[in-house]
């Protein structure tokens, strides 16, 4: 990935943050997209003077004009685009009975619509470089879980978007894949409103619900994202890769 140009959304924290750092470590120029300026600046500083470089880019993925600016500025400033990593996402509790239309729309806007919109804008540039796309989905895309209805639906749809886009873009030599993590220690659940005590209990309980006996960390998922984006995965497209400690092999519990 030396010299490649990579856009990573959701880079302020968690999986996106880890993925951006890994690409930069391997010599890529990374446009790190997020809404937390302080976190993006810290990420950039940590990699200053190293092999690759991280360029912070403040943007809300729900705003189409900001996506237009993201893509146009990336290509104008760096001359190309090789990889798009869609890592921005949210989670929120809710059942079929109590999920409001507002919450439903917000979940689908961030987890699905923004990905679709950004892919559309990046395809012409990825076609030029025979680049690729990696979407960050979830075990909830492949299995049903109670009380996270809209999240499960958004991730299941993201998996299907991945497969359909892979099929359609294959003639252009643009690969599209996704990773499907289980529970990973990030700020995702905290930002949904989960209190610290509840989150600690959730992580402890997750040791039992993941057959391998522990939760994941962002670095592990970031390494898989990097592999799928690299030339070593050049014959892989349309795949949704479980990285979940065996969680998808169990019944909901």
Does the structure show a pLDDT above 70 at 192? no
Domain contains 246: no
C-alpha closest to that of 31 among 47, 54, 63, 50: 54
C-alpha closest to that of 41 among 70, 11, 75, 85: 11
User: Which position has the token pair 């360029």?
Assistant: 55
State the average pLDDT over residues 55-74.
97
pLDDT on residue 97? 97
Domain contains 36: yes
Instruction: Give ∠ CA 135-110-104 in degrees, rounded to 5.
Output: 125
Does the structure show a pLDDT above 80 at 171? yes
- CA–CA gap between residue 207 and residue 62 (Å, rounded): 34
Domain contains 165: yes
State the residue range of the domain holding 30. 5-241
Q: What is the pLDDT of residues 205-248, one digit of tens each?
A: 888 889 999 999 999 999 999 999 999 999 999 999 999 999 99
- CA–CA gap between residue 78 and residue 74 (Å, rounded): 6
Domain contains 104: yes
pTM of the model: 0.93
| The total number of structural domains that make up the chain | 1
**Which residues belong to the active site?**
151
pLDDT on residue 91? 92
C-alpha closest to that of 158 among 248, 222, 90, 79: 90
State the average pLDDT over residues 136-146.
95
Q: What is the pLDDT of residues 6-17, one digit of tens each?
A: 999 999 999 999
Domain contains 252: no
Domain contains 251: no
Position 193 confidence tier, pLDDT thresholds 50, 70, 90: low
Domain contains 122: yes
Q: What is the DSSP letter of 59?
A: -
Helix 14-25 vs helix 37-46: crossing angle, to nearest 10: 30
Position 112 confidence tier, pLDDT thresholds 50, 70, 90: very high
Domain contains 114: yes
The CATH number of whichever domain residue 121 belongs to comes to: 3.40.50.720
């Amino acid at each position: 990935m030396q010299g490649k140009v990579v856009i990573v959304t959701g880079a302020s924290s968690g999986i996106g943050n880890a993925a951006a750092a890994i690409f930069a470590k391997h010599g890529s120029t990374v446009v790190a997209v997020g809404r937390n300026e302080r976190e993006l600046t810290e990420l950039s500083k940590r990699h200053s003077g190293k092999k690759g470089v991280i360029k912070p880019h403040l943007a809300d993925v729900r705003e189409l004009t900001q996506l237009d600016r993201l893509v146009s500025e990336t290509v104008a400033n760096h001359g190309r685009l090789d990889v798009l990593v869609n890592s921005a996402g949210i989670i929120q509790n809710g059942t079929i009975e109590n999920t409001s239309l507002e919450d439903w729309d917000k979940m689908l806007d961030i987890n699905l619509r923004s990905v679709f919109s950004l892919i559309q804008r990046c395809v012409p540039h990825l076609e030029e470089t025979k680049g690729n796309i990696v979407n960050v989905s979830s075990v909830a895309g492949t299995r049903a879980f109670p009380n996270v209805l809209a999240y499960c639906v958004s991730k299941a749809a993201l998996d299907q978007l991945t497969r359909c886009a892979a099929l359609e873009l294959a003639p252009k030599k643009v690969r599209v894949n996704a990773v499907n993590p289980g529970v990973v220690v990030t700020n995702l659940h905290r930002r949904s409103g989960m209190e610290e005590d509840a989150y600690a209990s959730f992580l402890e309980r997750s040791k039992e619900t993941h057959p391998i006996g522990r939760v994941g960390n962002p670095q592990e998922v970031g390494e898989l994202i990097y592999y799928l984006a690299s030339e070593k995965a050049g014959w892989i497209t349309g795949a949704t890769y479980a990285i979940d400690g065996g969680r998808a092999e169990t019944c909901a519990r």
